[in-house]
Every structure is written in structure tokens, then in C-alpha cells.
Structure 1
Amino acid sequence: MDGSLLTFFHSLLRYGVLLAVLGAGLLHLQGFLNRRPILNGERMLAIVALVLCHVQLVIGLALYFTTKSYALDSSSATGRFWKMEHLGAMVVAIILVTVGRGLSKRAKDERVKQQRVWVFYLIALALMLWATPWPFREIGHGRGWL
């Protein structure tokens, strides 16, 4: 598959990932604060967020290895961002989503289930937002929103 097509899908999917993780995190926070059990819609959104994160990771890794991003010089700001900051933060964020969902499934108490999802998902969201090369950041200057 063409690198520019993968880049387009990767850029487009980020909005789905961010919205799903944000939505799941906020819904579970609301459930936690209201002391209610997890609703089926909340559970489904958390699963959708998890799946989208993993699809985004696969596309990102395909981009990393097919566009020679791994060959960038780590001493330059651009190389360091793509090789270490973006890749590392996104992998950690996806691990947080995965662990949060897994710990939630294993918890016995409904309130603990809610808490684990919202804490892990919202920390992951903060990492994702930080590591995304937005057009208003120096590293994303000229890249566009898609």
C-alpha cells in the first residue's frame, strides 16, 4: 500500500481514536461519580476505543517501517520526535488503554471498573494529544489537519 495512503488513513483515524478514548473516559468518569454500574453503551465505547487504538498502532508501525522513519537521525529534532517521542508516547498510551480495559474487566466492584477505565483512558488521551504532530506545533507545521 502507498505510504501517502497509509498516512492519510493514519491521520484520519486519529480523530476516531481521540473521540472514542475521550468519550469512553468521560462516560466512565460520569458513571464513577454517579456510583452506577457500567452500562452496555459505555462498555461498547471502551471496546471500540481499544480496537481503534490497536488499528492505529498497526497502521503507524506499517508507516514507520515503510517510510524509512526508522532511518531518521535521532540527533535532529524531527528525528527525535518521530523515533522517540511520537512512537514511544503512542505505544505507552495504547498500553495504558489496553491495561485499563483489562483491569476493568477483572475488577469485581463496579465503581472500581469505572475508575480504572476513566483514569487509564484519560491519561492515555493526554499522552496522545501531546505526541500528535498538530499543524500548530513546530513539528507539525505545514502538515495539515488530515
Structure 2
Amino acid sequence: MPAPFFIVKQLPVLPPSFYSADDVDFILPRVLELTFTSNTMAPFARGMGHVGAPFAWDVARRALLRAELDAWYARAYGLDRRQLEYVLDPHDVMGADYPSQTFRVLRKNEMATFGEYRTRRLVLAAYDRQEVAALRPVS
């Protein structure tokens, strides 16, 4: 049974009318590359207009694409850089003794694997690039 419309309107989701053609041109190829990594997704890829082979699973490339999307959506939801820093790691903004954490497991795993919280660095760098390029999501 579909949710009553008043519930849908209360969800923190950007409506389809928010997205311009430029927004779709930014989002669609990144989503396609992140999702079409197997022939089992070929019908989805064809539906998005892609006629090539599945994308190679490249860990570094996928991290960059996710970071670009994360930064784009942070801006679309109106977060400034400081707010995004807080979302990624409240300790960076509030201090080491702040009692809350976000993405604790992700940070721990990336520190062990990469010696840094790579997602934080990539997302903030993507955010900065998008600000300089003045990509649209600033409502």
C-alpha cells in the first residue's frame, strides 16, 4: 500500500522538480558507473541510454564518484563546508572530547586501510571543487 501523500511530502527528499538538466547530466553518469559493474545490470544501463560494457570495478575511482555525489547532495541540501565537516566528523568541528561520532566504522576501516579518513578528504575536496566551479546546488 503506498504511503499517504502527506507522509511523502514530509520526507527529506528533493522533489523531481528540483533537478535541472545540468543536475541530471552531473548525477546520471556517476550513478551509472557506480551501478553498472555487471552484465546483470545491463537492462538498467540500457534504460539509462548506455550501450557499452559494464564499468570496471576500480576502488579508487568509485570512492571519487561517491565523494562527488556526496558533495553535490550536501550542497543541494544547503550545507556549507563547516556543516559538511561536522556531518563527516563532529570532532573536527566540536573538538576531540565531543561525545558524538558519525561514520565510526567507515573511519576506523579507512584509517586501517589508508592511514587516513579518506572519505572525509575526498568529499571535502569534491565540495571545494564544486564550489569553485559553481555547480548549481545552492538553493
TM-score, normalising length from structure 1? 0.26
From the two aligned structures, give the one with the greater helix fraction.
Answer: 1
